[in-house]
Amino acid sequence: MDKNNLIKKYTNGEITVVWQPSKCIHSENCEKNNPDVFKPQDRPWIKLENSSTEKIIETISKCPSGALSYYRTEEGHFKLYLEYIAKISVLVLGIAYASGFLVVITFLDQYGIRETGTEFFRLKYIYIGLFSLVFPGASAALAVGLNAARVLPEFNTPAWTPLVDWFRRRWSPSQNRVEEPTSTESNTDNHGLPLPSKIVFCFLILDSFLILAFAHPGYYSRHHLLIEMLYASAVLILLVRPVFGQLFHGRAAVVIRWVLALVSLLISVLIVKDIDFQTMIKERIYDYLFLVLLFGLLVFTLTMRRLTSLDSGDRRAKILLRCVILSFIYLFTVFSFAHTVYNHIPAEKGGGDFTAMPDARICFMAAEKNSIPPEIANNEGVGFACSVPLKIIEETSSVVFVARSDDRGSFSYKEAPVPAVLWRSGQYRPMVFGLNKTAIASIMLSNKNVIQSGVAKDYPVLQRRQK
């Protein structure tokens, strides 16, 4: 056997280490950095079971001659993907929690409520934070994807292949020119869905997000037929090739897909037409969208400038500076979300839009009658003291913050028939009262003068009374 071509391989199941003796210059870096694994006196001299995979990879990366290299096995790739997914999930949830916390306390500060800032562990923060992450995250992902397509000719992103193809032709026409498709299936790539199918699923995802974020309770039941039709179009467009391939192929399949895509567009518009986007625009939601666009452009610009020519110290400094800049812009988007978008998320979903929220009547035991603020008191019956109709603004473990449902300040009924619309727009903020939960006997929620429910489970006074 030719010693110059001799190659030896060692594996631990996750990676396979490749040693080429002809390239080795015997610098002893491997033995010095990881003596438990690399033992030249033993046979075999590489014992991967004596160290972690990460440390072995770190040692191999310091080999000056390239005699040592490695590649991941299928099991190693799977484990690496799981680690990446776990790390990214923790990172996203952490950012979402911090974003949601900032959004909620910023919004409540407009109502003069600051006590909620002391309660750090609430699922509401993650829920709202995920909503605030959607648009900045999407713009950043698009920017990174386009940059990857520009830099790497072999990079393929099935989710937006036509856009990537255009981007490559515009930025690198000589290296990344895309040949025109010769088949009649011109809208299909080899690794993903046809373009019409992607459009349908984009409509499906967008409508689902808008309904989850901005639709009031009952919206889904009123539009369930249209939503089911959108689901059906998504299923049909997937079945064009596997089920109806014998009947429809070539240009006919393309036409059918595009027809289904246009039908999906029409259905999507009908589904979300009752969401008041016009009011959102009037109430400055475009400020938030502008910051999202700025964030995406900044991500695109910063990722376009590669740092490979710098040494490690300068590279770290540049990366840190970029992260700081992006963090500040993202922070501005979070505060903008709190002042604009959050006002249009229904209060029933944890948002700041109280226009459709049921009125509440809070009743106290007779012994607590004197604790009721006179502005909200409305004595009825014997032994109980109840409030006028109220909106529950926020709730903590010990306090319920409420405002009168008819609090419109100096505005007349004609000018503001629904006071909560004034609250949402920021033209007027109601007077907020904090009520101690230990003094509350019951809370009745009503909608259109119909009593819907009794009281929440966490009111100990009511539980004792019911017993």
Q: Give Cβ neighbours of residue 109 (< 8 Å, ≥ 6 apart).
A: none
Residues facing 443 on adjacent strands: 362
How many CB atoms sit inside 10 A of residue 301's CB?
12
pLDDT at 403 (0 to 100):
93
pLDDT at 451 (0 to 100):
37
Instruction: Lay out the sheet containing 8-11: strands in order across.
Output: 8-11, 15-19, 68-72
Q: Tell me: the pLDDT tens digits for 384-421? A: 578 888 999 988 888 899 999 999 988 988 888 989 99
pLDDT at 2 (0 to 100):
53
Find out if CATH 3.30.70.100 is the number for domain 3-72: no
Domain ranges of the chain: 3-72, 80-179+282-353, 181-275, 354-466
Q: Which residues of the chain have pLDDT under 70?
A: 1-5, 115-119, 149-193, 241-250, 305-313, 379-384, 447-467
pLDDT at 115 (0 to 100):
64
What count of Cα atoms within 13 Å lies in the side-chain half-sphere of residue 424? 26
pTM: 0.71
Comparing CA positions, the residue from 163, 275, 133, 127 lying closest to residue 211 is 275
d(CA 391, CA 346): 13
Tokens representing 353 are 């839009």
pLDDT at 382 (0 to 100):
45
How many CB atoms sit inside 10 A of residue 193's CB?
20
pLDDT at 246 (0 to 100):
57
pLDDT at 288 (0 to 100):
92
pLDDT at 290 (0 to 100):
93
